[in-house]
Chains A and B, each alone.
Chain A
Amino acid sequence: MKKSKIIVIAVLMTIILPFAVFAAGSADVDVDESATVSIEFWHAMSGARVDLIQGIVDKFMAENPNVEVDVQYTGSYNDTLNKVKSAYKAGNAPDIFHSYEIGTLGLINSGIISPLDVIAKKYDREIPWDDFFTPVQSYYKYQGDHYSMPFNSSTPLIFYNKSFFEKAGLDVNNPPKTYEDIRAAAVKLQAAGYKTPVTWNLHSWYFEQMICLQDEPFVNDKNGRSGELPTEVVFNGKAGQNVLDWWVGMEKDGLFLDVGPGWSNHRAAFGAGEVAIVMSSSSDVNTLTAALAEKGWEMGTGYIPRPEGAKGGVAIGGGSLWMTNNHSAEEELAALKLITFISEDESQIAWHKGTGYFPVRKTAMDQLKTEGWFNENPNYLTAFNQLLDSPETLNTSGGLLGIFPEARELIQSAIQEMYAGKPVKQALDEAAVKANASIAEWNEVIQ
């Protein structure tokens, strides 16, 4: 059967390729760099970001006239991954595709990708990883190799309405930093007439990040980074309970407005002045500043809160660019060049200014600083500092888990059960049991 042939070839390629590379030393791959070649690039960034990416790619094509890049917006991360799956089975996978960070371990084990570092070595192109921010590149590094190129990177931030803080008698230049600070601020804001002053959308990402802040892992086997597939989640430990005792406790006490899942409701509530404090992605800085400015309010940003004395930091969120295997050497090299081009300063600065995602390289950051960009946009600096203040540990590199998307669903469902009255510990334990059962199945199928 044709399908099984492809699989055999794919498996052989992934096994043999790295050896071939090491055996050959470097740059011995016979490749015609000036050959005309066309490659496909599928990404998951909608709206104005479609044009922004097209613009970056157009520049690349102008510099590399022999490479024709077909860029396509293929829907959400999930849609994109599903399309890549079907395309791969049909034998016409895109050369480059975009995935969310939580897809990392699944993709590493998928058998359909070529690790970025392996391809870079194969063509003797060095990627200057030292120039990348450590938290950004360490997320995508597994067992010593970078598997994909960090692209759109963000962390959560606290956004607060300075005008409301002033009315409630709070220090406008000193955002709340701990769980207790947030709660105390919320109580004051409520007393000042803001009914339910705090909100964020129902998303497991915040929960994961606040476990990182306590320097605790999300899954076993060194947070999924030991080289063995993780077998159990540990998010139901003390750290996870701390987060939700506080979060759900605020909801129970009427300080926190439950706006449900999705990314629009909490932004709308903040923009309309329904709430004074939200947590959201750092890539929302543009949108939220503008929303508040429209009403004549000023916005401040702060680090996401932690329990008193917690020593961890945030992990990077967002997405990265992956290369699929089974392409000709010419295509691979062109794809590698494009991926590298996107990570370079010029593209990253355009990307940062247009979206609010971090530039991934230090040199890009320095250039922005020299330009005075952060004097005009101090809120962008908060997100950077939060990331750079994070210690580098296995926990703040971010957990890796094959069934991460499902774990997120389970956690979100558990939080809703807690809102409805289930004890935190019980709901988390039940979610963990379900997640572990799925992990066992996944580990069996993937091998």
Chain B
Amino acid sequence: MKQSTFNNKYLPYVLLVPTFFILVVFLFYPAVETFRLSLFKIHPWTGAEKFAGLYNFIKIFTNGDYLKSFILSAYFAIVVIIAGLFFSLLIAILLNQKIKGMRFYRTFLIWPYALSPAIAGALFNFLFNPANGVLCYFTGFRTWLTDEKTAIIVVIIAAVWKNLGYNIIFYLTALRNVPASALESASIDGAGPVKRFIYITVAFLSPTTFFLFVMNTIYAYFASFGLIDVLTQGGPAGSTRVLIYHLYKDFFVHSKIGYAAAESLVLFSLVVGVTVLQFRTAGKKVHYQ
């Protein structure tokens, strides 16, 4: 088949203009601006700027609350990623069976993903809020959201639950693509179901798992905001104040624009760093067909 060619040298650039326009206005310019602002002290109202060098970075990294939030976020991300991937793979396997009414179950198990974080938060609030939460009533335990030890657990459960649908869709598709021939030949070679799962299925799933690993990292660091805002507002006593929530407070409530810019750069570098690390290490073990 003959491929059509365009001789106009500039045409590709013209076609790229709309995309670049959007990228520049909504991505590159804000990113550069954030970088610049992180080096200034900024008047909260007029925006008047005073160069401050690394002042903002030094301040946030000598702030005990911020460091606490840093560790909390890492812990939160690790638990959310591991629990999220584990449960979604488990459910995806169950959903991959041939039983009656499968479509029905599938739809309902993917449903949580269609909810906005604020609505998901409201649902969990309905279950756990100390005044009239349904589960507080049934468990006789009131302080789910007002005790430092349990509040973070509720937030983690909510965050995992909220993202299950997304992970399940990807795992389900990946499971469908595991070639039956590979599984059959393994069983002819005498591999039992467990061995088949570990050596064949998991290997075929590795690109998906890797992809979800990266996406869930981003989710845990950035998208947890809505849930936390509705459920705990970062409390009790900062025990659920992850980095993104800290950043929100510093910018939108405390009007510390310089700090907020520095914090968002930290968050940005953190997620980029973790992703690069994943590509360098786990990425090499991923088996692509």
Contact = CB atoms under 8 A, between A and B. Distances in A.
A7 interface: yes
Interface in B16-63: 41-48, 50
A89 B47 contact: yes
B130 A260 contact: yes
B131 interface: yes
A259 interface: yes
Residue with the greatest number of chain B CB neighbours at <10 A, chosen from A259, A260, A405, A441: A260
Contacts of B42: 445
A78 interface: yes
Contact of B143 (A258, A406, A412, A446): A258
A88 B45 CA distance: 8
B46 A112 contact: yes
Nearest to B45: A110
A260 B146 contact: yes
B86 to A, nearest CB: 30
Nearest to A414: B237
A413 interface: yes
A266 B131 contact: yes
B34 to A, nearest CB: 15
A85 B45 contact: yes
Contacts of A434: 65
A438 interface: yes
Interface stretch (A39-47, A287-295, A415-423): A415-423
Interface string A75-113: 000110010010011000000000000000011001110
B283 interface: no
Interface string A239-277: 000000000000000000111111011101100101000
A82 B254 CA distance: 11
A446 B46 CA distance: 9
Residue with the greatest number of chain A CB neighbours at <10 A, chosen from B47, B255, B256: B255
A7 B48 contact: yes
A181 B236 CA distance: 29
Given A261-B235, A413-B235, A106 B146 contact: no
A403 interface: yes
Nearest to B130: A259
Contact of A260 (B45, B47, B50, B232): B232
The secondary-structure label for the interface of chain A is helix
Residue with the greatest number of chain B CB neighbours at <10 A, chosen from A202, A274, A403, A416: A416
A10 interface: yes
A85 B48 CA distance: 12
Interface residues of A, number: 47
B130 A265 contact: yes
A78 B253 contact: yes
A412 B46 CA distance: 29
A406 to B, nearest CB: 5
B132 interface: yes
Instruction: Using C-beta atoms within 8 Å of the partner chain, give the interface range for chain B.
Output: 20 to 34
A419 B130 CA distance: 14
A78 to B, nearest CB: 6
A255 B233 CA distance: 25
A419 B42 CA distance: 36
Given A269-B132, A445-B44, A406 B233 contact: no
Contacts of A112: 45-46
B249 interface: yes
A78 B252 contact: yes
B233 to A, nearest CB: 5
B61 to A, nearest CB: 15
B236 A416 contact: yes
B44 A265 contact: no
A261 B233 contact: yes
Nearest to A7: B46
B129 interface: yes
B142 interface: yes
B237 A420 contact: yes
A3 B65 CA distance: 34
B45 A420 contact: no
Nearest to B238: A413
A409 interface: yes
A110 B235 contact: no
Contact of B131 (A107, A265, A406): A265
A405 B256 CA distance: 12
Contact of B46 (A79, A110, A261, A409): A110
A85 B42 CA distance: 13
B129 A82 contact: no
Interface in A390-430: 403, 405-406, 409, 412-414, 416-417, 419-420
Interface string A118-140: 00000000000000000000000
Interface in B204-244: 232-233, 235-238
A49 B131 CA distance: 26
Contacts of A416: 146, 148, 235-237
Contact of A438 (B41, B45, B132, B254): B254
Interface string B76-88: 0000000000000
A261 B233 CA distance: 8
17 contacts: A78-B252, A85-B45, A85-B47, A110-B44, A111-B43, A257-B130, A258-B130, A259-B130, A259-B131, A260-B235, A265-B132, A274-B132, A403-B254, A416-B236, A420-B237, A434-B65, A441-B256
Given A110-B44, A274-B131, 8 more contacts: A78-B253, A89-B46, A260-B232, A272-B132, A409-B249, A413-B238, A416-B146, A442-B44
Interface of B: 41-48, 50, 65, 129-132, 142-143, 145-148, 232-233, 235-238, 249, 252-256
Q: Which 9 residue pairs of A and B lie closest in terms of their CB atoms, listed nearest first? A: A110-B45, A265-B131, A416-B237, A269-B131, A416-B236, A268-B131, A417-B237, A406-B254, A258-B146
